[in-house]
Chains A and B, each alone.
Chain A
Amino acid sequence: MIAVLIFLAIVFSIGGWWLSRQRLMSKPWLEPGFAGVAPGTEAINLPANKVGLGVFLAVVGALFALFISAYFMRTELPDWRNIPMPRIIWLNTGLLVLASAALHCAVVAVRAKQLRALKLDLLACIATTLMFLFGQGMAWETLTAEGYFATSSPAYSFFLMLTGVHGIHIIGGLFVLTRTTRHAWTQTNNAALRASTELCATYWHFMLLVWCVVVVVLAGWANDFVDICRQLLPLG
């Protein structure tokens, strides 16, 4: 459970840092306010949907951290054999980076109120993301062609499951992104467009990060690191 404990440590540090600024030491029973003065709410200085996305990403992060925890616990068992990464994975990673970059440009464009550029960037993102998904399917094909099956190789099962769950999240994101793109054509309200573009961008960057972690894990580059953690903290 190392991976998820590390993840929780990060989430709890952020939460703790936020809480530490919430005057938890105050004595509310001594602090009645007077009429006529409307105090603030001490809410986070962001719109609700951004906070909401942040919380949601924490949930997604926990999900992947747990899958990865399970992965490392499974690698400990004697029947484990690594499988070679299909080479198309690197191409796919590149595509996802491009998609993220396109959305970054989209945010810049929408902030500068350049509607034409925005439309182009959004379309570019959709295109590269679709290609990414297609490439993931090819990766599955390659491995099956090389004779790996879910029944015979736990490493392949994990490959299938992790890329699959990541893919489902990307597809979910695509639904929202398509809606945003449609709005770029139909809507005139720049503030709403900007908000949804920014949300999509955050989501895509996060899913890119998740993808990188997944690749590092599946390629076995994190094994030594996890071994060290295990020795420090033998918690499964």
Chain B
Amino acid sequence: MGLFDRLKNRLTRTRSALSDGIAGLFSGGRAMDDTLLAELEELLYTSDLGLLATEIVEDLSRRHRRGEVRGEDDVRASLRATLLDRLPAKEECGEITLDASPTVILVVGVNGSGKTTSIAKLAHRFHTQGRQVLVGACDTFRAAAADQLEIWADRSDVQIVRKDEGADPAAVAFEALETADVLGYDIVLLDTAGRLHTQKNLMDELKKIHRVLGKKKEGAPHEVWLVIDGTNGQNAIQQAKLFTAAVEVTGVIVAKLDGTAKGGAVFAITHELGLPVRYIGTGESLELLEPFDPEAFVDAVLATD
């Protein structure tokens, strides 16, 4: 099964709501008019596209008056173009080569966004690619967070560095990096505690981890990936902004895109912040992590069977 088909399958719900919705709008040979456009705007809004929905529809309406957009096919084509335009070019997204040795990846995000699960999936992925992976349990705040990571690490057969609950997360990060240096690991994945982007002290803690890593090894952390809950609405944009301000996020992972959520916020995040989406999480099991491909994503969202 190709990437496109896999995505399409996993994103069924997203697709059916938006794509079938568009089909529904035009069913029975309805002509394109203001009412239809208003309904289309509503449909786009429910995909968490936010104000982009209004922009798109205003643009469509303008071009409709000029006679450029006539029916369903035109609308689809136009939507596809606009949505794609909002995402970075294909070569900027998706998986990248991690060639520093070791490459340190700091994974951050708000509570419950799916950091630990995403790390598990990443570890599994890199491990299957033949890399030596070490995970560091820097979430020393939430009860049993390290236990959760350890169970995942065991399942993917990768090593873990952990300390007691309440330990300084920066110390865990330091130790993980040191261990990786000494034992020759390729990739260090650091799981951090969930924190709301509005909590200054917790964001400062994150900065400290970042600083400590940089002191220990020049260039570290090489990547800072922000995990966004795909079901989050417009707030995801704010999260991305504030996390970026604190620790220079270099990429985004969108988790939980297997529900009915649209991940519409992805468009705003990449557009407003210029952050590339690296992976999307599309299910509970370890292998359900796809490198992000903008075209495939938009096509999956708009596909008809």
State yes or no: do A and B come from one complex: no
A residues contacting B by CB (< 8 A) are: none
